[in-house]
Amino acid sequence: MFRFGKNATLIERSGAHRLPARKVRGQCSGFMGIFRCGTCRAWFKKDYSKAKYCNHKCAGLAAAGFRRPRIYTDEALIKMLRSMAKKRGRTPGKRDNCGADERIFRERFGSWNNAVVAAGLKPNSCGQHMTRRSEIKVSLRFKVLKRDGFRCVYCGGTPDRGYELHVDHVIPGGPATEDNLVTACWECNLGKSDKPL
């Protein structure tokens, strides 16, 4: 077995990746060369010039689309976060595609929010998420529908004209009180979505 030590580094530095042809015991007198594997980047010796991989395992990995994982520096990860924040106009979340997997940020900085703070951005907090809406009682729903005359307060649609009426929160995620509820048809309710008026 041909062993590489100082010779491999000398060959790599010199830029010569192949040895001249020579006869090796048990093999033909064809071209003998030292190559670098396309998958694991290890040096290997073969007797033909079109060698790309050191063994069948590396060739199979390459055929399956395996690529060596990219190694990111802390500065590169921080730059990714800053550019994503500038592009989106907000602090990126874990599920935003920043160019690197979220696990890399967690392993390097301890947590996603630590990475965001290291990038000089304001971390996302739980308070920014919508709270779960409380159930509206049937009696309160009927009171709101009756108060609004069984008519959509936004477009004036009624069930007689084929509109399906809903009871909508004026302040999304707010309390289920009569002051915070209005009658809306399903189109207006869908269009308003979770935007406060």
Identify whether 158 is part of a domain: yes
Task: Quote the DSSP letter at residue 170.
Answer: S
149 and 187 both lie in a single domain: yes
- Is the CB of residue 59 less than 8 Å from the CB of residue 84? no
Task: Give the three-state DSSP class for 93.
Answer: coil
**Tens of pLDDT along 66-123?**
766 677 888 988 898 898 888 888 888 877 777 777 788 888 888 888 888 999 988 8
122 and 142 both lie in a single domain: no
92 and 117 both lie in a single domain: yes
Structural domain harbouring 33: 6-63
Task: Give the three-state DSSP class for 151.
Answer: coil
Identify whether 176 is part of a domain: yes
Please report, for residues 15, 27, 44, the alpha-carbon distance to residue 19 in angstroms, rounded to integers and kept in the order given: 11, 16, 12
CA angle (138 as vertex; 136, 142 as ends), nearest 5: 105
144 and 188 both lie in a single domain: yes
Identify whether 68 is part of a domain: no
15 and 47 both lie in a single domain: yes
Identify whether 37 is part of a domain: yes
Identify whether 156 is part of a domain: yes
CA angle (177 as vertex; 145, 130 as ends), nearest 5: 110
Identify whether 22 is part of a domain: yes
Instruction: Give the whole-angstrom CA distance, residue 37 versus residue 43.
Output: 6
Identify whether 197 is part of a domain: no
Domain count, the chain: 3
**Tens of pLDDT along 136-184?**
888 999 999 999 999 999 999 998 988 899 998 888 777 888 998 999 9
Identify whether 187 is part of a domain: yes
